[in-house]
């Protein structure tokens, strides 16, 4: 009856090892999850619209990054374009010829196009502009220190509305996108703590009524009844204006697919030319 007692120490050791292995595996699991969530940039093998392109895989969906030929990071700014409903970011990138439109603007900027809601039911993927910039940086892409301009089409306003208190956001361009969040946009252009340094351009087709009503609140707003064909058609006052409203002769989708609006309006930003 005493012989089995000699096995008791070995049995205790085996039990300890058995419990230690799962514990070690569990301890390593968070590290693997953290590594898998790190943004990964895949550079296009060929030039895209004459410039350099990356597609970043992030935990909040793909992010497209593009810089033009002649890009100078030392003097460059950043343009963040947020797509509207009914497309995802990859579809918007291709179908709306975004890199070609960015090139046409001739702006010395890093252009960033993140994932955004495709419907009212979708969540806002990037509630923080700072978090988006951090994701791009973590993917190994060095960002410029110049002004940041945010452009949104249609339902993209939901994303931009959550960025208006970011002190590095210099200008907002709403492309038929003023469907709501008026208080946030008023804070950005008029009553917020950084409002004196901000500019805004509102283009309207479907949103003409609410965009016009919003603009009427501010005596300093410049108003045009159509989008001009060239940059030189803007008056000096319009070029300097803190807030400008343009009634679009183009339809809701044509505003972003016709290659006439985005390149032109980017000329009205504090960005420098390539």
Residues pairing with 114 in the sheet: 63
Distance (Å, whole) CA 123 – CA 144 = 28
Kindly provide the residue ranges of all beta strands, DSSP E only, lying in 93-219, ordered along the sequence.
Answer: 109-114, 148-153, 169-175, 199-204
Which structural domain, as residue segments, surrounds residue 26? 3-34
The pLDDT, as a whole number, for residue 12 is: 52
273 belongs to a structural domain: no
Q: Does residue 232 share a domain with residue 256? A: yes
Q: Does residue 165 share a domain with residue 88? A: yes
Q: Does residue 135 share a domain with residue 12? A: no
The pLDDT, as a whole number, for residue 165 is: 87
How much helix, strand and coil, in percent to the nearest 5, is found in the chain?
Answer: 40, 20, 40
Residue-wise pLDDT tens digits, 96-141? 999 999 999 999 999 999 999 999 999 999 999 999 999 999 999 9
Segment 173-182 shows an average pLDDT of: 95
Residue-wise pLDDT tens digits, 209-262? 999 999 999 999 999 999 999 999 999 999 999 999 999 999 999 999 999 999
139 belongs to a structural domain: yes
Segment 51-65 shows an average pLDDT of: 97
| Torsion angle, alpha carbons of 139, 142, 146, 151, to 10 | -30
Query: How many Cβ atoms are within 10 Å of 79's Cβ, its own excluded?
Result: 25
Both tokens assigned to 107: 């702006």
- Check pLDDT > 80 for residue 178: yes
Q: Does residue 53 share a domain with residue 29? A: no
Q: Does residue 147 share a domain with residue 13? A: no
Tell me the whole-structure pTM to 2 decimals. Answer: 0.85
- Check pLDDT > 60 for residue 87: yes
Q: Does residue 25 share a domain with residue 135? A: no
Residue-wise pLDDT tens digits, 11-42? 454 444 444 444 444 444 343 343 347 889 99
Q: Does residue 210 share a domain with residue 100? A: yes
The pLDDT, as a whole number, for residue 37 is: 74
Q: Does residue 262 share a domain with residue 194? A: yes
- Check pLDDT > 80 for residue 52: yes
The pLDDT, as a whole number, for residue 21 is: 42
- The domain that holds 224 is classified in CATH as 3.40.50.1820
Q: In 3D, which of 140, 142, 162 has the Cα closest to residue 150?
A: 162
Q: Does residue 107 share a domain with residue 175? A: yes
What is the percentage of the chain residues whose pLDDT exceeds 70?
87
- Check pLDDT > 60 for residue 7: no
Work out whether strand 52-58 and strand 61-67 pair parallel, antiparallel, or are unpaired: antiparallel
Q: Does residue 89 share a domain with residue 13? A: no
């Amino acid at each position: 009856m005493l012989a089995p007692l000699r096995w008791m120490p070995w049995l205790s050791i085996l039990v300890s090892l058995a419990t230690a292995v799962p514990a070690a595996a569990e301890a390593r699991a968070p590290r693997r999850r953290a590594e898998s969530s790190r943004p990964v940039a895949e550079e296009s093998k060929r030039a895209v619209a004459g410039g350099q392109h990356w597609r970043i895989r992030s935990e909040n969906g793909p992010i497209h990054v593009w810089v033009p030929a002649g890009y100078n990071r030392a003097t460059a700014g950043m343009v963040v374009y947020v797509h509207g409903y009914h497309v995802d970011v990859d579809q918007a990138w291709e179908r709306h010829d975004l890199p070609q439109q960015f090139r046409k603007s001739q702006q010395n900027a890093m252009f960033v196009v993140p994932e955004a809601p495709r419907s009212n039911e979708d969540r806002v993927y990037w509630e923080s502009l700072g978090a988006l910039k951090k994701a791009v940086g973590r993917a190994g892409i060095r960002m410029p220190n110049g002004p940041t301009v945010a452009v949104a089409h249609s339902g993209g306003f939901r994303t931009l509305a959550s960025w208006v208190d970011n002190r590095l956001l210099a200008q907002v361009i709403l492309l038929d996108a003023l469907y709501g969040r008026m208080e946030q946009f008023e804070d950005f252009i008029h009553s917020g703590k950084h409002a004196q340094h901000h500019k805004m351009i509102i283009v309207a087709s479907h949103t003409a009524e609410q965009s016009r009503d919003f603009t009427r609140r501010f005596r300093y707003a410049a108003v045009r009844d159509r989008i001009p064909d060239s940059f030189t058609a803007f008056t000096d006052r319009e070029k300097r204006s803190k807030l400008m409203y343009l009634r679009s002769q183009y339809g809701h989708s044509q505003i972003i697919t016709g290659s006439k609006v985005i390149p032109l309006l980017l000329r009205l930003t504090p960005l420098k030319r390539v």
